[in-house]
Structure 1
Amino acid sequence: MPRVLVTGTSSGFGLAITVELAKQGWDVVATMRDLTKRGELDRALVAAGVHQAVTVGQLDVTDPTSIERAVAELDLPNRQLDAVVHNAGVAAGGAFEDLPETDVRRIMEVNYFGVLALTKCLLPTFRAQRRGRIVIISSESAFAGQPANSPYCASKWAVEGWAESLAYEVEHFGIDIILIEPGPYRTSIWENSPRILPKDSVYLPLLRHLEVTVEALVAKSAGDPADVGKAVAKALAARHPRFRYAVGPTAKFNHFARGKLPSTVVRKLIGRYLGLGRVRW
């Protein structure tokens, strides 16, 4: 039975990925920063009849001690590890000028440096096995910038640049790097993320417009996180996986448009989609 480590599994994509991989016959090590929040995952596993295929553990990707402990509990190299799915992620909504530096750094620590730190601990095992797959849950935000979401977009651009570079270095050892790039989906990341809207912000008209507009668009068009779980399962099952998997209609459009349309055109299209022309400054 192949074994996989998944981060950020208490809800959203991580939960959906864990359930789908368990259903596909994987031995899943599902990790999360706060084990008191495992209830939703446990209920989903029981409902799917796969709770026996999943081990739940604590892992904070920003804490070196937590990473070392979680990797030690994998009992490597006595037991194999076939893949890791980097899903843990955070965000913060707001105009860049208004965002506290602590929020910006937190996003980069989790979404970027956390991926690097855990990968570095697992690479010796994958190299020794001469095989392994490193799956990174990226975003359509890696294709084009988004208003009031600059640190999150930056973290995804950064992790994709790192992943493209790492792929050159590890392919000789039979290690595949895979990027999963979803569009808008119904997950708790935005509900649980701080929204910075200072009453005296010069950007307040834009921020208020986006708060209403984005929520309406997500409610109308956001997909089921199960789609992302299936995309990860498909990539891990593929004999020769693609480097990028865009998931959802807007992500697929952005994937197609990347490098083909000028950035100014893309920005105008996104602005029109978000109704930015209606903002009264």
Structure 2
Amino acid sequence: MPSVLITGANSGIGLAASVELAKRGWRVVATMRDRTKRGGLDRQLAAAGVSDDVRIEQLDVTDEKSIDATIAALDLAHHPLEAVVHNAGIAIGGAFEDLSDAEIRGVMEVNFFGVLALTRRLLPTFRARRRGRILIVSSEAAFAGHPTISAYAASKWAVEGWAEALAYEVAPFGIEVTLVEPGAIKTNIWKASPRIIPKESPYRPLLRHLDAAVDIHVEKTAREPEEVARVIANALEARKPRFRNTVGPTARMLHFARGKIPARLMRRIFARYFGLHRIRW
């Protein structure tokens, strides 16, 4: 029975991936920063009849001691992992000028440096066995930066550049690196993420407009996390997985457009779609 560690498994894509992989016969180590938030995962595992195949552990990817404690508890020397799914992520909305360094660094710590730290800890095990899968849940934001998500987009661009380089280095050891790049997905990141809209901000008209427009866009277009979970599982089980795996029509469109459609034209398309021309500054 192959085994996989999944971060951010208490909700959304991480939860759905934990259930999907357990149903497919994987032994899952579902991790989360706060294990008191495991209720939703426990209910779905029970409903699917796979509770016995999932082990739930505490893991904060921004805390080196937490990573070490989790790895020690898993005893990888005797119970090695076949794969890791880097799903834990956070976002923050707001104009760049309104965001503090601490807020931006917080996003990078989870979405970028957290992925690097956990991967570094697992690579020796994968190399020793000469096989392993490193799967990173990225985003369509890696293809196109949009207003008010500069920190989030930067974190996804960074992790994808790192992943492209890493893939060369680990390939001789039989290790595959894979990106899964969803568009809008129905998860709590939309409501849980802070939206910074200071009253004195010169960007306030844009921020208030997009605060409502993005919610409408998500309501109309967001896909279910189970769709992403199936893509994750298929990628982990593929003999030769594709490096990039988009999920949803907007992600596929933005992936296609990158480098083909001029950036100025893409900005006009985005502005028209979200009605930015109607903003009164």
TM range (shorter): over 0.9
Taking the aligned partners of 2:258 and 2:187, their CA distance within structure 1 comes to: 25
Q: 1:267 matched to which residue of 2?
A: 267
Write the deviation string for residues 54-96 of structure 1: whole angstroms up to 9, x where unpaired: 0000000000000001111221121121000000000111101
Matches within 5 A, 1:85-164: 85-164=85-164
Report which stretch shifted further, 40-49 or 201-210: 40-49
Taking the aligned partners of 1:165 and 1:157, their CA distance within structure 2 comes to: 13
Q: Runs of 5+ in structure 1 lacking a partner? A: none
Q: C-alpha displacement at 1:255, in angstroms?
A: 1.1
Residue aligned with 2:253, SS: helix
TM-score normalized by structure 1?
A: 0.99
Percent of pairs identical after alignment?
Answer: 63
Q: 1:57 matched to which residue of 2?
A: 57
Taking the aligned partners of 2:252 and 2:140, their CA distance within structure 1 comes to: 8
Taking the aligned partners of 1:192 and 1:127, their CA distance within structure 2 comes to: 37
Taking the aligned partners of 1:273 and 1:183, their CA distance within structure 2 comes to: 16
Residue 241 of structure 2 aligns to which amino acid in structure 1?
P
TM-score normalized by structure 2?
A: 0.99
Residue aligned with 1:104, SS: helix
Corresponding position: 1:213 with 2:213:
yes
Taking the aligned partners of 1:279 and 1:128, their CA distance within structure 2 comes to: 57
Matches within 5 A, 1:169-180: 169-180=169-180
Write the deviation string for residues 195-242 of structure 1: whole angstroms up to 9, x where unpaired: 101011111110110011110111111110100000000101111000
Corresponding position: 1:26 with 2:26:
yes
Q: Runs of 5+ in structure 2 lacking a partner? A: none
Taking the aligned partners of 2:4 and 2:248, their CA distance within structure 1 comes to: 24
Residue 148 of structure 1 aligns to which amino acid in structure 2?
T
Taking the aligned partners of 1:82 and 1:65, their CA distance within structure 2 comes to: 23
Residue aligned with 1:30, SS: strand
Structural RMSD (CA): 0.7
Taking the aligned partners of 2:59 and 2:50, their CA distance within structure 1 comes to: 21
Taking the aligned partners of 2:18 and 2:89, their CA distance within structure 1 comes to: 16
Matches within 5 A, 1:3-14: 3-14=3-14
Q: 2:226 matched to which residue of 1?
A: 226
Corresponding position: 1:238 with 2:254:
no
Write the deviation string for residues 114-156 of structure 1: whole angstroms up to 9, x where unpaired: 0000000000000000000000000000000011000000000
Residue 126 of structure 1 aligns to which amino acid in structure 2?
F
Q: State the 4+ residue runs in structure 1 displaced beyond 6 angstroms.
A: none
Q: 2:191 matched to which residue of 1?
A: 191
Residue 280 of structure 2 aligns to which amino acid in structure 1?
R
Taking the aligned partners of 1:121 and 1:73, their CA distance within structure 2 comes to: 13
State how many pairs are aligned: 281
Taking the aligned partners of 2:77 and 2:272, their CA distance within structure 1 comes to: 53
Residue aligned with 1:92, SS: coil
